[in-house]
């Protein structure tokens, strides 16, 4: 009787998702199809490789572990210790770091761990204004950073819409922050981390470089690396770096001796609990992939694709914030087109093009409406979209956002979106059968 019951339970445990939970199975399949059928232009999106996906969905999710390799609070860690050490070694090699912590669950958690390391409640932070390209975890008032710390914000120059380092220095002298944050979610230009460090040194502040959006470009040496300038470097890993949805903290040789142990304790037990070993394994795979020549080729193509779409849109009379781009994203100011970011997002979604409405520097719209949209090419470049395809996409964007598109125009655009997606099949071809040896 007891044996039969145990067998039944084991059988249930080994039954597939489609049988156990058809509702969830169906929704995953629909999302799968959505990813295949739409042109994904959200700048923080990407498609992981089959190998990264396999590691993310591996049996490592079963392993409980707290602490760090060789210093765990549970036994049975002989293999996962090796795995975490491997991931750490790869992160250090790829970014030229002296220390790497691969445990943060997300980029935001990584930032919170840095704050816990150097700040006390009420201390002053100087970060980039959210509506000028900054991030929620850099001090937004509705984020825990805004509640715990005294947050001040620098903005882009009103004329150039780029960072103006002299103005940031003047503001830093005024604010006297304990921590300056360099990094953004919607800034299309190169960030000068060395200059940021000079500013930090001049006012006696620590410097955090949050490279969430550009870490893939840094890995491919297509954007300056902050590792020898910033006291702390944080990143999420799912954007240009093309890894799992997770985070990472890096320290250079100059700051590791002072902060390595403190960051370890801030991540665990300070901010987080047990390690997500499946995510760490996936990050190890991501880092190996990012060391390959094909990754650098991919990042160069991403930059080229962004440049092409930016130039085409400018020729089509769209205004780009700062006039263009140096990285994987552009910000389109739609105020002169008589359409809001929200309306543009919805119109483009209706034809199968996925973007996000985005606040613009000095925006007159509310955050729920926004004056523009953000467009990034990381995901479609992974899918194999070429510069030629970028000309097509710019044409499609123009057709939808310039003037009032007719139902026939929208239908034609939708058909063209489908054609482009069929030309570059992704999900099935990457996650289907695959090579296993």
Cα gap 179→123, rounded to integer Å: 8
Q: Quick one: which of 39, 40, 41, 44 contacts ligand DSN (CB under 6 A)?
A: 44
DSSP assignment of 224-290 equals ---TTT-SEEEEESSSTT---S-EEEEE-TTTHHHHHHHHHHIIIIII--S--HHHHHHHHHHHHHH
Q: Which is nearer to ligand DSN, 256 or 369 (CB)?
A: 369
Q: Strand ranges (DSSP E) for 299-427?
A: 319-320, 329-333, 353-354, 356-358, 372-376
Nearer of residues 186 and 200 to ligand DSN, judged by Cβ = 186
Pick from 313, 325, 305, 330: nearest CA to 384: 305
The nearest distance, CB 212 to ligand DSN, in angstroms, is 6
- Per-residue interface string for the shown chain with ligand DSN, residues 297-326, x marking contact by CB under 6 A: ------------------------------
Q: Residues 116 to 155: which contact ligand DSN by CB under 6 A?
A: 135
Query: Which residue lies nearest ligand DSN, judged by its C-beta?
Result: 44
Binding residues among 166-195 for ligand DSN as defined by CB under 6 A = 185
Q: Which is nearer to ligand DSN, 84 or 363 (CB)?
A: 363
- Closer by beta carbon to ligand DSN, 44 or else 155: 44
Instruction: Name the minimum Å distance from CB 129 to ligand DSN.
Output: 15
In sequence order, what are the beta bridge partners of 244? none
DSSP state string for 1-52: -HHHHHHHHHHHHTS-HHHH-HHHHHHHHHHHHHHHHSEE--TT-----HHH
CB of 217: closest distance to ligand DSN in angstroms?
14
Query: Smallest distance from the beta carbon of 147 to ligand DSN, in angstroms?
Result: 19
Q: Judged by CB, which is closer to ligand DSN: 135, or 178?
A: 135
Q: Which is nearer to ligand DSN, 138 or 197 (CB)?
A: 138
Rounded distance, CA 217 to CA 211, Å? 10
Alpha-carbon gap, residue 168 to 157, rounded angstroms: 10
Angle of CA points 301, 306, 311, to nearest 5°: 125
Task: Give least dist CB 135 to ligand DSN, A.
Answer: 6
Between 55 and 130, whose beta carbon lies closer to ligand DSN? 130
Size of the site for ligand DSN (CB under 6 A): 3
Site for ligand DSN contains 246 (CB under 6 A): no
Shortest gap between Cβ of 327 and ligand DSN (angstroms)? 12
Between 44 and 101, name the residue whose CB sits nearer to ligand DSN.
44
CB nearer to ligand DSN: pick between 243 and 405: 243
- Closest contact distance (angstroms) between CB of 120 and ligand DSN is 26
Q: How far is the CB of 424 from ligand DSN (least distance, A)?
A: 22
Q: Which CB, 44 or 340, lies closer to ligand DSN?
A: 44
CA distance between the termini of the chain: 43
Q: Are 348 and 358 in contact (CB under 8 A)?
A: no
- Rounded to 10°, the helix 387-401/407-423 angle is 160
Taking CA 110 as the corner, what is the angle to CA 105 and CA 114, rounded to the nearest 5 degrees?
Answer: 150
CB of 283 to ligand DSN, least distance (A): 16
Q: Look up residue 156 and give its DSSP letter.
A: -
Q: Tell me how far, at minimum, the Cβ of 315 lies from ligand DSN, in Å.
A: 27
The Cα-based distances of 132 to 91, 214, 424 in angstroms read 30, 17, 34
Residues 417, 352 contacting (CB under 8 angstroms): yes
Q: What are the residues whose beta carbons fall under 8 Å from the beta carbon of 271, sequence distance 6 or more? A: 104, 109, 112, 113, 116
* DSSP-derived secondary structure letter, 318: P
> DSSP string covering 391-406, please?
HHHHHHHHHHHSS---
The residue ranges that bind ligand DSN (CB under 6 A) are 44, 135, 185
């Amino acid at each position: 009787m007891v044996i039969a019951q145990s067998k039944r339970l084991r059988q249930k445990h080994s039954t597939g998702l489609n049988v156990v939970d058809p509702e969830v199975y169906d929704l995953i399949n629909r999302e799968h199809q959505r990813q295949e059928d739409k042109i994904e232009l959200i700048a923080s999106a990407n498609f992981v490789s089959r190998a990264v996906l396999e590691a993310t969905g591996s049996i490592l999710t079963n392993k409980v572990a707290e602490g760090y390799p060789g210093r765990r609070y549970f036994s049975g860690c002989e293999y996962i210790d090796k795995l975490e050490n491997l991931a750490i070694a790869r992160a250090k090699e790829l970014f030229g770091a002296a220390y790497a912590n691969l445990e943060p669950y997300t980029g935001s958690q990584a930032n919170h761990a840095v704050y816990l390391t150097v700040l006390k409640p009420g201390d002053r932070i100087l970060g980039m204004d959210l509506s000028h390209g900054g991030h929620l975890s850099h001090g937004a008032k509705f984020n825990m950073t805004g509640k715990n710390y005294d947050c001040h914000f620098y903005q882009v120059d009103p004329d150039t819409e780029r960072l103006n380092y002299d103005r940031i220095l003047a503001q830093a002298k005024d604010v006297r922050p304990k921590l300056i944050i360099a990094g953004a979610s919607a800034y299309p230009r190169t960030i000068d981390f060395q200059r940021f460090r000079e500013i930090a040194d001049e006012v006696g502040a620590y410097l955090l470089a949050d490279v969430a959006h550009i870490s893939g470009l840094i890995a491919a040496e297509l954007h300056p690396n902050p590792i020898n300038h910033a006291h702390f470097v944080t990143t999420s890993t799912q954007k240009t770096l093309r890894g799992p949805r997770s985070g990472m903290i890096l320290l250079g040789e100059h700051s590791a001796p002072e902060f390595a142990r403190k960051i370890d304790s801030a991540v665990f037990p300070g901010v987080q609990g047990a390690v997500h070993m499946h995510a760490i394994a996936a990050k190890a795979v991501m880092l190996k992939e990012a060391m390959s020549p094909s990754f650098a080729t991919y990042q160069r193509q991403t930059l080229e694709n962004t440049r092409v779409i930016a130039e085409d849109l400018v020729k089509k009379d769209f205004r780009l914030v700062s006039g263009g781009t140096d990285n994987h994203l552009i910000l389109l100011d739609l105020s002169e087109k008589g359409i809001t970011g929200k309306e543009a997002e919805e119109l483009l979604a209706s034809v199968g093009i996925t973007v996000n409405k985005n606040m613009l520097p000095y925006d007159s719209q509310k955050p729920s409406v926004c004056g523009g949209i953000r467009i990034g090419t990381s995901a479609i470049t992974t899918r194999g979209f070429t510069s030629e395809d970028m000309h097509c996409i710019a044409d499609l964007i123009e057709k939808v956002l310039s003037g009032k598109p007719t139902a026939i125009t929208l239908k034609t655009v939708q058909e063209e979106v489908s054609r482009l997606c069929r030309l570059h099949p992704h999900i099935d071809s990457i996650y289907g059968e695959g090579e296993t040896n």
